[in-house]
Structure 1
Amino acid sequence: MRLRDLPAIVYVIIAIGFIFLPVVVLVQFSFQDGILPVPPFKGFSTQWYERVFDNRRLMEALWNSVLVGLLSSLVATVLGFLAAYGLARSRPRFAGAVQYLLMAPITVSYLIIGMGLLITFNMSGIGKSLLAIGIGHVVINLPLTFAILYSQMGEHQANVERAAHDLGAGDLQALLLITMPMLWPALLAAFFIAFTLSWDEFVIAFLLSRFDVTLPVIIWSMLRSGLSPELNAVGTLVFGVSILLALLVEFALRRGRRTK
């Protein structure tokens, strides 16, 4: 190690510590053998995780988050793929404007999107529900899935599709047997990123839910009563799922780079 590299190394260590120290404390005190998640650490116990899995409201909220995340991510990925494929292959005259409109929700606050959806649903007669939350999550995740998939549609794939057409394949056959297999790492990455964002999203879920709530909303309601090791246990589980999804995204992207 060279002396001139020391400041950069120290900076990286401090930055990593600043980011992960709260997470370490969260995980540590989720195993606290006491009723308060504060120092000193009183011993190792898994009782709070047992309470989490015995808590019916938490389990229902967990299932709601999984259901909304899976379905909204699937819809966002399919719509993002179709939009990206259409723009990349047909190249319409106003492709730039269409691309801008598809990406526009990224520049808008989730609070504004949630309020707009709430007003729209009230005017349409759609009540607060998991369906409303799912639609909201499709709105915020569609630009990301579109951007990921559009960036992976290169000219080499178009050439392979043209070769398939020359050999007698129809449009649907080329799409299902050529395009999608070549893009499967990007499709998985887009799906997992959308699920991760849906899994952690609070503002839209809070505005568009009433009785059936997602996990971030139930965590917020529990926080109003104060901190507890049970909340730390829930937070640790949420963090663990997010890390797992991030690793799956990285794995999919690495496989995609290797196949190019």
Structure 2
Amino acid sequence: MMRFLPWAYLLVAFVFIYLPVGVLVLFSFQSGGLPVPPFNGPSLRWYETILSDPDLMGALRNSLIVALGSSAVAVTLGFLAAYGLARHILPGSALMRGLLIAPLTVSYLIVGLGLLIVLTRTGLGLSLWTAAIGHVVINLPLAFAIIYASMGAQQQNAERAARDLGASEMKVIVLITVPMLLPSIAAAFFLSVTLSWDEFIISFLLTRFDVTLPVEIWSLLRSGLSPQLNAIGSFVFLISVAVVLLLELVVFRRTRP
């Protein structure tokens, strides 16, 4: 009996986590106008609706642009900060690490309001650019923490050996450090993309006309639930699963012995 208890617990945990997603996906194939039982389908009617909706497709494109662009900038800055603080002795380095990670403990609402005040005072109009700046602010601490935690003695010894053989600092970073830290860099990038993709508060505060997908979904929710929302939610979920599988197949599998 005790042998099956861990498996039962695991099954209950997976059902608890994935049951709402399963219901969402199931009723996205509902042919009727209400996303409630009994199930009438299957039908691709609502997927055709969202794929032909210019507002939803425009918001989806905006979310991809903001997520990929802001994540690339956040990971680049996070890597440079992690490399500088891990490989060089700087005065107040502990304080600098704390300040870099501190935004993780601050509510997105507070961060968004602060950015809104600063950006409007500087005369920048609200747009996808300002939303991307906000996403860099919230993803940079996470990228820094992931990459900094992976910078151990193994990489440092390889870097020293490369310098002893005459490699310049730039070559050491590009040819030694980055390849050895590639799994951590990729994990930081894809996690930043995922968080940016789902982020609502900062996107809502820092955009005006060109909105991201979560903001567009929120505007649709004000008119009530519909199978259209289930379809767009399922579509986003499938994209997220595809990204995770791609990360597993392309990056992590190569690093395994």
Structure 2 length-normalised TM = 0.95
Q: How far is the alpha carbon of 1:251 from its aligned partner?
A: 5.1
Q: How far is the alpha carbon of 1:151 from its aligned partner?
A: 1.1
Cα distance between partner residues in 2 of 1:231 and 1:22:
14
**How big is each residue's C-alpha offset from its partner over 1:95-146, in whole Å with a ceiling of 9 and x where there is no partner?**
1111100000100011111011001111111121101100000011001111
User: What's the counterpart of residue 20 of structure 2?
Assistant: 22
**How big is each residue's C-alpha offset from its partner over 1:132-187, in whole Å with a ceiling of 9 and x where there is no partner?**
10000001100111111111111121111111111111111111111111111211
Q: How far is the alpha carbon of 1:231 from its aligned partner?
A: 0.8
**Partner secondary structure for residue 102 of structure 2:** helix
User: What's the counterpart of residue 127 of structure 1?
Assistant: 125
**Partner secondary structure for residue 45 of structure 1:** coil
Tell me the amino acid that sits aligned with residue 141 of structure 1: N
Choose which of 168, 173, 180 in structure 2 pairs with 1:182.
180
Q: Is the Cα–Cα contact under 8 Å of residues 32 and 44 in structure 1 kept in the other structure?
A: yes
Instruction: Specify whether residues 101 and 255 from structure 1 end up closer, same or farther in structure 2 by C-alpha distance, changes over 3 A only.
Output: farther
User: What's the counterpart of residue 106 of structure 1?
Assistant: 104
Long gaps (5+) in structure 1: none
Cα distance between partner residues in 2 of 1:160 and 1:131:
39
**How big is each residue's C-alpha offset from its partner over 1:191-232, in whole Å with a ceiling of 9 and x where there is no partner?**
111001000100100111110000000001001111111110
Choose which of 225, 228, 236 in structure 2 pairs with 1:227.
225
Cα distance between partner residues in 2 of 1:20 and 1:248:
20
Q: How far is the alpha carbon of 1:242 from its aligned partner?
A: 2.0
The answer on 1:81 being equivalent to 2:107 is no
**Partner secondary structure for residue 236 of structure 1:** helix
| Worse overlay, 243-252 or 33-42 | 243-252
Q: How far is the alpha carbon of 1:7 from its aligned partner?
A: 4.0
Long gaps (5+) in structure 2: none
The within-5 A match list for 1:61-100 is 61-100=59-98
Instruction: Specify whether residues 256 and 87 from structure 1 end up closer, same or farther in structure 2 by C-alpha distance, changes over 3 A only.
Output: farther
Cα distance between partner residues in 2 of 1:161 and 1:84:
15
Q: Percent identity?
A: 57
Instruction: Specify whether residues 64 and 222 from structure 1 end up closer, same or farther in structure 2 by C-alpha distance, changes over 3 A only.
Output: same
Tell me the amino acid that sits aligned with residue 200 of structure 2: F
User: What's the counterpart of residue 47 of structure 1?
Assistant: 45
Cα distance between partner residues in 2 of 1:242 and 1:57:
21
User: What's the counterpart of residue 204 of structure 1?
Assistant: 202
* Aligned residue pair count: 257
| Aligned-CA RMSD value | 1.6
Choose which of 112, 136, 139 in structure 2 pairs with 1:138.
136
Structure 1 length-normalised TM = 0.94
Tell me the amino acid that sits aligned with residue 80 of structure 1: G
Q: How far is the alpha carbon of 1:76 from its aligned partner?
A: 0.3
